[in-house]
Amino acid sequence: MAASGATTDEPGGSGGAGRDSEPSATPVVAVTTIVQVVVTMCSVIPAAIAPELARAFAVPTSLIGVQVSLIYLGAMATSLVSGVLIRRWGALRTNQAGLAFSGVGVALMATPSLFILAIGSVLTGFGYGLTNPAASHLLMRVTQPKTRNLVFSLKQTGVPLGGVAAGLTAPTLALVFGWQWALLAGAALALALLAIIQPFRRRWDQDRDPNVALRSNPAGDFRLVWRHPVLSRMSLVGFCYSAVQLSLTTFAVTMLVEELGFGLVEAGVVLSVLQVAGATGRLVWGGVADRLGDGNRVLMLTGLVAAAGGALTVLLSAGAAPAVVYGVLILFGVSAIGWNGVFMAEVARLAPEGQIGSATGGVMVSTYAGVLVGPVTFAGAFAPVGEYTASFGLCAAVSLAGAALMLAARRGMARG
């Protein structure tokens, strides 16, 4: 993953403002991916231990969708200001701020109070919302067009890998030590990583401008996207696909435990397999997009495969063989979790020059809106139906809508 103008990067290395001292690609990809793993893990832990949380707070398990939506409400808020923060603080410092918010937020969730749980969820979302624009800013500095989809997809594997980490560790910690310890472990990891990456800050944030005013119109990045016809359609695709993705990862464990007869730890393993499928899908889709030189065509295909996964999930029942359950959810995960890397690379490619962070932040507002609306809508669909499996039919329809919007964006690119 060589980058034009890249040099050997060392923590704490001095660097001027020139392009000759840009960081090299390998450490940038590694750090941005690990940061994504950790902030995602912090946001997924509550869903991974949803039955234990519901028991502790004496609420229905379906309400975990509301808690997840609060996380992404916070992410929407910081996406609106991420562009100016990156220009003022630098992309690495913005990532560190994201880790700080995530660590403090998930620690607060360990307090046995629904009100504090809500505050902690929003703070965790603040952290999550800062990481994607900051990572896109760094990655565009160190990647070449011929490998961009794969590199962005590699970084975006941090999302499903964070889900894997949560699925493998959080249920066991919750059952052995208590549900609070699962949350506190995520907090400790986030705050430790914040300190570990500090030595890179001097070189990686050499392009920051301390004179940029932090006071700015928070809707500016969003307006930037909606003035750009293709980016505006892409933002709607992100809305649809993220709504499906978060509905799947939020309710998979609950569906497996309450309807398909899985134990909590076993369901956590299935969630991890689902996330591994998503991580694999991101790399495969990214490689295919680079090979074809056509990321938007790949994004249409992921929507169609996700629709098939949602439709097949409707057919699952308590009598289904475990291999069938695994197979359906792997297909669903490869597509519904695998689209993000190609999506982020396309947004960065289409962004106006010098405004990658702002364009990414603006698009992510709509993407996080999908995350915000998706689990709540899924919970609303579950209420009259009474079956989680049947409710995934809604995901199939939304995935098809996203593929149709991607087709409209593609036609817009052709006209442009």
Q: What confidence tens digit (pLDDT) does each residue in 173-220 have? A: 998 999 999 999 999 999 999 999 999 998 898 888 887 777 665 565
What tokens were used for 98?
A: 């994201």
**DSSP code string of 144-199:** -GGGHHHHHHHHHTHHHHHHHHHHHHHHHHHHHH-HHHHHHHHHHHHHHHHHHTGG
Task: Tell me the sheet residues that pair with 126.
Answer: none
Tell me which DSSP letter residue 353 carries: T
Tokens read off for 222: 């969003």
Statement: residue 401 has pLDDT above 50:
yes
Q: pLDDT at position 1, please?
A: 35
Using alpha carbons, select from 88, 92, 77, 115 the residue that is nearest to residue 31: 92
Domains plus CATH for the chain? Answer: 20-205+218-415 (1.20.1250.20)
Q: Using CA atoms, how far apart are residues 268 and 166, in angstroms rounded to an integer? A: 8
Q: Which of 234-238, 249-253, 322-326 shows the lowest per-residue confidence on average (mean pLDDT)? A: 249-253
Terminal Cα-to-Cα distance of the chain (whole angstroms)? 30
Say what the pLDDT of residue 285 is: 94
Going by the DSSP 8-state scheme, the letter that residue 23 receives in this structure is: P
- pLDDT class of 157 with cuts at 50, 70, 90: confident
For residue 293, report the phi and psi dihedrals to the nearest 5 degrees: 65, 35
Q: Positive or negative, the Cα torsion across 31, 20, 97, 79?
A: negative
pLDDT at 358 over 60: yes
Q: How many Å apart are CA 91 and CA 85, to the nearest integer?
A: 8
Q: Please tell me which residue, 23 or 326, carries the higher pLDDT value.
A: 326
328-344 tens-digit pLDDT: 999 999 999 999 889 98
Question: pLDDT at position 9, please?
Answer: 39
* Nearest Cα residue to 342 out of 74, 133, 148, 190: 148
Long-range contacts of 390-394 (CB under 8 A, 24+ apart): 390/314, 391/251, 392/247, 392/248, 392/255, 392/310, 392/313, 392/314, 393/310, 393/311, 393/314, 394/247, 394/310
Name which of 214, 5, 190, 228 is nearest 101 in CA terms.
Answer: 190
Which residues 6+ apart lie within 8 Å of 105 measured at CB?
A: 42, 74, 119, 120, 121, 122, 123, 124, 125, 126, 127
* Contact by Cβ (8 Å): 294, 357: no
Using the 8-state DSSP alphabet, how is residue 19 labeled? G
Instruction: Look up residue 220 and give its amino acid.
Output: G
Which tops the pLDDT comparison, 245 or 145? 245
Mean pLDDT of the chain: 84
How much of the chain exceeds pLDDT 70, in percent?
Answer: 90
pLDDT band at 66 (very low <50, low <70, confident <90, very high): confident
- The encoded tokens of residue 130 equal 């800062």
**Which pair of structure tokens corresponds to residue 303?**
């929507």
Residue 19 has pLDDT above 80, yes or no: no
